[in-house]
Amino acid sequence: MSKQKAAITAVAGFVPEDKLTNFDLEKMVETSDEWIYSRTGIRERRILKKGLGLSYMGEKAVSKLLEKSGTDPKEVDLIICATITGDYVFPDSANQIALKVGATNAFGFDISAACSGFLYALHTGSKFIETGTYKKVIIVGGDVMSSIIDYTDRTTCVIFGDGLGAVLLEAHDDYGIIDAELKADGSGVDFLVARAGGSRKPTSQETLDSREHLVYQNGGPVFKRAVQGMSSTVKEVMGRNGLTNDDVTWVVPHQANMRIINTVASQLDFPLEKVMNNIELLGNTTAGTLPLCINEYESQLRPGDKIILTAFGGGFTWGSIYLTWAYDGSLQS
């Protein structure tokens, strides 16, 4: 008898109403709609109103998730929240979301793995289902990147936006998470980092003046490592599971740059019709991109669809997860 799989049985997302377009950015830094769109594929991103915080988006998405799946919040055992922009330095945001949605029997914790956070959280959460420890686990991925972006730095401010997605994991006999290949390389800290605001360099007037509490990225090397890291781990999980390109229904790549997505697709020889993307209108929402993509494409998903999620981000962290889809997405509203 094969063991029970951890299947995604519902998905929901939330993006704030306020838009920041390329034309808005033209007024803020020396850039152009033409440069941004041709170099990244992004036209606009969403920005959360100040003072709301990550758990506001978490509450919206998880409430929708519970409603869609007909789940009583009191049945939820665990909430894992992947984010680098929680409401507070501490405590975690998973338990703030649990409080807001009335998941009074759940415990939660956050995972900090930047753009790969959703993959890390999904892999972790799946183990609690596979072992039979818990019945209902919610995986949240999202970020309020506008809270840590330097809007005077044209190399980073044009990429990132705010948004969050969530999935419900439950046991399933046939479909669910099959395999994962997760990687990390701590030397990536030199290329993608918020240098201040942590214990190594606590926030001070000096760090505020030097803007070191905001995102710093050396984009070129990150671009190359992202292509290599996503392509190689997709190949690894496909090889291990005997999958050909024809077998795979969808590839869901992290949405950092449309040129990265196109290069990964071309290196793997996947037609773009099989590759999910939503970067044009949302930008890079860090831990939010994968669940938001799945949410957007839900109506096209069918039981047994073979899906590969892949991401690369700060740390460096990267990896791929292979799963089979568990329900008919066209029947969801």
Residue with structure tokens 């190949």? 235
Separation between Cα atoms, residue 97 and residue 61, nearest integer Å: 10
CA 188 centroid distance within chain: 19
Rule CB under 6 A: is residue 223 a binding residue for ligand UT7?
yes
Binding mask 53-92 for ligand UT7 (x = CB under 6 A): ----------------------------------------
Rule CB under 6 A: is residue 226 a binding residue for ligand UT7?
yes
H-only helix segments in 73-192: 94-101, 117-130, 154-157
User: Half-sphere exposure of residue 274, counting CA atoms within 13 Å on the CB side?
Assistant: 19
Token output for 220: 């070129």
Could you tell me which stretch among 48-56, 218-226, 237-245, 298-306 binds ligand UT7 (CB under 6 A)? 218-226
Token output for 273: 């019709």
Rule CB under 6 A: is residue 24 a binding residue for ligand UT7?
no
Minimum CB–partner distance for residue 211 and ligand UT7 (Å): 16
Number of H helices, E strands in the chain: 11, 13
Token output for 291: 């669940």
**Binding-site size, ligand UT7 (CB under 6 A):** 21
Contact with ligand UT7 (CB under 6 A) among 43, 135, 148, 219: 219
Contact with ligand UT7 (CB under 6 A) among 4, 26, 33, 39: 39
Q: Point out the catalytic residue in the list 172, 284, 293, 295.
A: 284
Task: With beta carbons less than 8 A apart as the criterion, state whether 288 and 48 touch.
Answer: no
Q: Which of 147, 142, 155, 148 is nearest to 282 (CA)?
A: 142
Of 78 and 159, which CB lies nearer to ligand UT7 in the complex structure?
159
Q: Identify the DSSP state of 85.
A: S
Of 4 and 262, which CB lies nearer to ligand UT7 in the complex structure?
262
Q: Give how far Cα 138 sits from Cα of 35, 184, 258, Å.
A: 38, 24, 29
Site for ligand UT7 in 97-116 (CB under 6 A): 115
Angle 109-115-118 from CA coordinates, rounded to 5°: 45
- Which residues are paired to 143 by β-bridges? 163
Q: Point out the catalytic residue in the list 81, 115, 157, 293.
A: 115
Rule CB under 6 A: is residue 220 a binding residue for ligand UT7?
yes
Could you tell me which stretch among 13-21, 85-93, 104-112, 220-228 binds ligand UT7 (CB under 6 A)? 220-228
Minimum CB–partner distance for residue 73 and ligand UT7 (Å): 32
Burial 212-249 (b: 16+ CB within 10 A, else e): bbbbbbebeebbebbbebbbbbbebbbeeeebeeeebb
Contact with ligand UT7 (CB under 6 A) among 149, 258, 260, 294: 260
Rule CB under 6 A: is residue 13 a binding residue for ligand UT7?
no
Rule CB under 6 A: is residue 195 a binding residue for ligand UT7?
no
Contact with ligand UT7 (CB under 6 A) among 40, 93, 95, 126: 40
Known catalytic membership, residue 172: no
Contact with ligand UT7 (CB under 6 A) among 22, 69, 257, 324: 257
How do beta strands 317-324 and 306-313 pair?
antiparallel
Known catalytic membership, residue 115: yes
Minimum CB–partner distance for residue 314 and ligand UT7 (Å): 6
Rule CB under 6 A: is residue 155 a binding residue for ligand UT7?
yes
Q: Which of 225, 231, 194 is nearest to 211 (CA)?
A: 194
Which residues are the active-site residues? 115, 254, 284
Residues in contact with ligand UT7 by the rule CB under 6 A = 31, 35-36, 39-40, 115, 154-155, 158-159, 219-220, 222-223, 226, 256-257, 260, 284, 312-313
